[in-house]
Amino acid sequence: MAALTWLEGPSWPGVGIRFTTRHGGVSGAPFDSLNLGTHVGDDARSVAENRKRISAGLPASPLWLDQVHGTRVLDADLFESMGDVPPQADAAFTTRRDRVLAIMVADCLPIAISNAQGTIVAAVHAGWRGLADGVIEATLAQLRRARPDQQHWRAWIGPAIGPGAFEVGADVVQAFLKVDAQSSACFVARAGMRDKWLADLPALAARRLQLAGVTDVSHADRCTASEPGMFFSYRRDGVCGRMVLLAWLEEDPN
């Protein structure tokens, strides 16, 4: 059995960031092996075991969301659990040291956002629709409301489908251009194919972050679609598992 593996996010003061791979779980094909999604058709007992494995060593069990490609942002500090029913949202934030945020992806963008002091952190799920509709801006609005004295924000864009693999139609291009005409630089027309473009989703997210005032933006620079041995990819495989971005505030060493 392959060992549990993950990618470490950036070393931000007071913040822990981790991104799981497909290795180290108990799920069978096509969810092999560390599938963390309960909604993809995998055996529920396998998913429960996989979630148990990734929770080891974390300050708390992750807060799972019912992600719908929208723009709702959950204040995790105010959330009261309703048993096994996850809250519907595509982003969450916390100022508490005993909250672990979780975002599931299999090509969409997983994004972590924090302030320079590491006293608040958010995790964002951004597919093209949520990104175009403003999930990043909605998240930053909530963070600034919670920490109005903060001026410096940073973001990390985790593994997602890369610019050479994400083919889109005119509807996607127009959804971004109507908000920001300069985002045209993030699309490349496919030669010989009418109304088809390759979209650079991480670049689109970086642009939206920078326009929203986030000056420190870093990337994992990993393409989920082109690394089948490491990542799940819905665009590549159709039926597949889900990986997770985990983000939390670490205990103050003082």
Look up the CATH superfamily of 6-161+213-249: CNF1/YfiH-like putative cysteine hydrolases (3.60.140.10)
Mean pLDDT by 10 residues, the chain (254 residues): 87 96 97 97 97 94 96 94 84 95 98 96 97 98 96 97 97 96 96 92 98 96 97 97 97 58
To the nearest 10°, report the CA torsion of 92, 96, 98, 102. 10
CA pair distance 20, 243, nearest whole angstrom: 6
User: Pick from 144, 98, 66, 138: which is nearest to 249 by CA?
Assistant: 98
Sketch the domain layout of the chain as residue ranges.
6-161+213-249
Q: Give the whole-angstrom CA distance, residue 132 versus residue 208.
A: 9
- Predicted TM-score of the model (pTM): 0.96
